[in-house]
Amino acid sequence: MELASPQLVTAAWILTGVYAVVILWFVVRGAKKITNIDDYALGSVLFSPYAVGLSLAASITSAATFIINPGFVALYGISGVLSMAIALPFAALISLVLLTKGFRKHGSTVKALTMAQWMQTMYKSRGYGIFFGFLSLLLITFIVLICVGLTKVLSSALNISELSTLVGIVIFVFGYMMFGGANSMVYTNTIQALLMLVVAIILLGSGYEHFSEGVRGFMSKLETIDPMLVSATNESSFLFRDFFEIFIAQFIVGVAIICQPHILTKSLLLKSDSDVNKYLMVGIGAQLLFFFVVFSGLYIRLTFPDLSANGSPIPMDGLVSAYVVSEFPVFLGLLVVMGLISAGLSTLEGLIQSLSTTITKDILEPLAGEKLNMSKVGRNVMINRMVIAALAVVTVFVSWDQLINPNLSVGIFAQNGVYAYFSAAFVPILMGMFLKNVPLMAPVAASLTAVVVHFTIYYGQLPIPFTQADGQNPGIAAAVAITFSVIVGFTTYFMRRNSDTSENSTAAEASHLSTK
């Protein structure tokens, strides 16, 4: 299905080439300052808090926000906007403020490079760190989502096959991430975030003509297509069926969603605690605008009422790219395509950097460090590059499968993996920041409970009492998993603490009696 004009295709090839050259220039500049894995993970350059704040916003925002989620809104309407642009962002940004300072305080003290290392040092357990290292492999699902989203956009704009586009994206991005690391990532993320700000405004303003008769007229147009599009809940979906699914579950997920390594570890790039407030102010301001981009899904539905073009149905993950290449003039279309690419690359870079560092430092080094001679200077950097190459191969195979056999959307596949990860991380991070002398048993019990409950509810598609929601929605599985994780984790903590207090009192009494 070819929707892009010949002029747009030609211009897209030229601009994509220029964009690639600019990124490579920053990568070369950043790579010159990398001497070890610490530099790769945290950077060796003094960054402005404003630049890191924009990098944060770009990292939180991904192909999901700009490319995939508007498709859900196009299918299901206002209920999707309430869930994705209001409930989840509200919780996520509050959580970001509360968790950033505590995480940075401990992370800076112990020089933690990854989430797994943070867990290991916080709870003084090598085994727990390795457990989180393996759990981090679930983030590959998010990498796949972004690659699928980018493939949809670029294959439409460049008018080439999806397989060729996918392979090209993976080779290019994973290739330059072997060398740039955090140094180049903050530079590229800052540029990407600025471009995304412009594109967010363009997308949100692109449907202004639909408001010619005011908000009521806009809603009437949607209602004519499908009355469920203007309903606060949508029973025809498996994501937005009732208040619990739209607000309660999304609020719980939003609070915990910040517990991802490429988000929380971003604060470790700041060189001073005095920079944190500036960093958060810029990051949150940009992020609020990015989250609301999903509203453009309503414009897409008005443009493609039956979700088809030229007589062919448009896959949900391809709705945004179809809208851009068919509705925008060449210049604006190119600008938006570059912004959508930026939205994907910004998070993809962070995920590759954090996941490869985790595999190198938290899995390979403790389990096979001696055999791989990783104590040798520069050896871990070389192994990290090999890890990135292996991740690239896995990404191509899994992404291609999602392109040809999606379960409605690659977004569902990614949510299942990523939500399981941060469900397991939420309680341990909360305890580590706000409690003292936490027994290892408490965070371990919380993490295991979260993983077991999440996958049991999702794959069993278990119904949830008092709501229409069930495990078919990964957000429901995660919300229930987080709730059980909190209950089990904190119950274990208080029981263990009371037990220790009782044992100490008994020991003190015995000591006192023995001295009489």
Write down the CATH superfamily of domain 36-514.
Answer: Sodium/glucose cotransporter (1.20.1730.10)
As given in the structure block, the two tokens for residue 515 are 């001295």
In the chain, where the domains are located: 36-514
358 vs 133: CA distance, rounded Å: 6
Q: How far is CA 84 from CA 71, 199, 240, 252, in A?
A: 12, 19, 10, 13
250 vs 467: CA distance, rounded Å: 14
Q: What is the pLDDT of residue 110?
A: 52
Contact call for residues 340 and 321 (beta carbons, < 8 A): yes
Within 10 angstroms of residue 22's Cβ, the number of other Cβ atoms is 13
Strand duo 308-309 + 312-313: pairing: antiparallel
Which residue type is seen at 286? A
pLDDT 10s per residue in the chain (516 long)? 556 678 888 888 988 888 888 878 877 776 665 555 555 545 545 568 888 888 788 777 777 888 889 999 999 999 999 999 999 999 999 988 888 877 776 655 555 567 888 888 889 999 999 999 999 999 999 999 999 989 998 998 888 999 999 999 999 989 888 776 555 666 676 777 788 888 899 999 998 899 988 999 999 999 999 999 999 999 888 889 999 999 999 999 998 888 766 677 777 777 777 888 889 999 899 899 999 999 999 999 999 999 988 888 898 888 998 898 888 888 888 888 888 887 788 778 778 888 888 898 889 888 887 787 776 756 777 888 899 999 999 999 999 999 998 877 888 898 899 999 989 999 998 898 788 889 999 999 999 999 999 999 999 988 888 788 888 889 999 999 999 999 999 999 998 877 765 555 554 454 554 555
As given in the structure block, the two tokens for residue 491 are 């119950």
Contact call for residues 345 and 150 (beta carbons, < 8 A): yes
Q: What is the pLDDT of residue 112?
A: 58
Q: What is the DSSP string of 472-511?
A: TSHHHHHHHHHHHHHHHHHHHHHHHHHHHHHHHHHHHHHH
234 vs 226: CA distance, rounded Å: 11
Burial degree of 401 (CB within 10 A; 0-12, 13-18, 19+) = middle
Q: How far is CA 190 from its chain centroid?
A: 17
Q: Tell me the residue length of the chain.
A: 516
As given in the structure block, the two tokens for residue 231 are 């309903």
Q: What is the pLDDT of residue 180?
A: 63
136 vs 153: CA distance, rounded Å: 27
374 vs 384: CA distance, rounded Å: 10
Give the max Cα distance, the chain: 97
206 vs 407: CA distance, rounded Å: 29
Three-class DSSP labels, 426-465: HHHHHHHHHCCCCCCHHHHHHHHHHHHHHHHHHHHCCECC
Within 10 angstroms of residue 329's Cβ, the number of other Cβ atoms is 10
Burial degree of 354 (CB within 10 A; 0-12, 13-18, 19+) = buried
Provide Rg for the chain, Cα atoms.
24
Please tell me what DSSP assigns to residue 107.
H
Which residue type is seen at 406? P
Q: What is the pLDDT of residue 26?
A: 74
Q: How far apart are the first and last CA of the chain?
A: 91
Nearest CA to 464 out of 277, 279, 302, 243 is that of 243
Nearest CA to 492 out of 454, 435, 409 is that of 435
